Amino acid sequence: MTKLIERFISYVKFDTKSDENSLTCPSTKKQLKLASFLKEEMIKIGLEDVTLDENGYLMGTLPSNSNKDIPTFGFIAHMDTAPAFSGKDIKPKFIDYNGGDIILNKEKNIILSPNDFEELNSYIGETLITTDGTTLLGADDKAGIAEILTSMEYLIDHPEIKHGKIRIGFTPDEEIGRGADLFDVEEFGAEFAYTIDGGRLGEVEYENFNAASAKIEITGRSVHPGTAKDQLINALQIGIELHNLLPVNQRPEFTQGYEGFYMLSEMSGDISNAKLSYIIRDHDMKKFIEKKEFLNHIVKLLNQKYNDAIKLELKDSYYNMKEKIEEKMEVFDMALDSMIQLGIKPIVKPVRGGTDGARLSYMGLPCPNIFTGGHNFHGQYEYIPVSSMEKAVKVIVKIVENIEKNNNIK
């Protein structure tokens, strides 16, 4: 598995942070640098029909070596990292973990502690890859890319393992909800696929949030505070008032499981003009609609009070893939069975987020989500156990084997 780790470390050295404010695809040109690198690697290991389009979508094929009539299927991961934290000059650290605190950055006193992240206690005696405390790590989702390509190379080097035609897809801009925007499902040519984009060892998912974004712009009126009575309209103050009308217990830091939330993701401005950005999430479609309606109601109420000072742009991002995966549950069951055969206990839970698979499922490509092994994505405390990455590779190979042997997915 040495190549697996070498791949991962080489990939995280590429800064591929996406940008939700960009109108281009990919949203950042630097994603194309990793895409070009991966294209050459895919060709080198022996994948065929490798294509990279101008929008940063990279695809390739491992041809069938079986005489059976097997549906074409695929594995998908994304190349970008989250805009929430720096992905530049990542310096991974290898930790032989013996328990207790991990000092990521002594100078800045940044500590990865089981007191804050108790899952660390599950990895005593294992090797962890961490950040140096100044960047995210990028296991979301460069670990997924490394695991997929390592699996494909293993299959190429072991032709005795029979398999059907396998398609590989790497996408840009997943972290800003646009990874499936220009994904050509017809060109991909698969009947189903798996996104390798989950978290801890054993996670396998077919449910995710319904998601929307809200952009709010508030126009105020700046007047000297000494003569402000009945004249000043403070855009910042209106923003605070709006935020405080949303339910406190429906913030992400107070929710879990199937509980949805409103999250204030960005706020800026001054007295004259203020901007707020929210993401809205809920697994239940009825509650998702109610959340959007409630935000609309608040804006309407405040506009009556402040003479239409607020503009709201509300846009759906993706929907719960459960509705589509349930029509083809044998795809999900194949992943479960493969994990169990390898002695990995499946952790079936709803994704408290989204994957490319959510939108692709609605585009006709059912895509359950499988673990990469990583923890604490999108921040400086991100880490991934080496053994979890190795097991992800084994799961991918086992799924490939089982689809050929059982051939019960139609």
Residues with a known catalytic role:
80, 174
Q: Report the chain's C-alpha Rg in angstroms.
A: 23
Residue 196: alpha-carbon gap to chain centroid: 10
User: Does residue 221 sit in helix, strand or coil?
Assistant: strand
Separation between Cα atoms, residue 357 and residue 192, nearest integer Å: 10
DSSP string over 268-315: EE-SSEEEEEEEEEESSHHHHHHHHHHHHHHHHHHHHHTTS-EEEEEE
Name the helix (H) or strand (E) containing 337: helix 329-341
Q: Which of 368, 324, 330, 364 is nearest to 349 (CA)?
A: 368
Separation between Cα atoms, residue 339 and residue 348, nearest integer Å: 12
Residue 210: alpha-carbon gap to chain centroid: 14
Separation between Cα atoms, residue 370 and residue 367, nearest integer Å: 9
Residue with tokens 């979301």: 140
| Residue 259, burial from CB neighbour count under 10 angstroms (0-12, 13-18, 19+) | middle
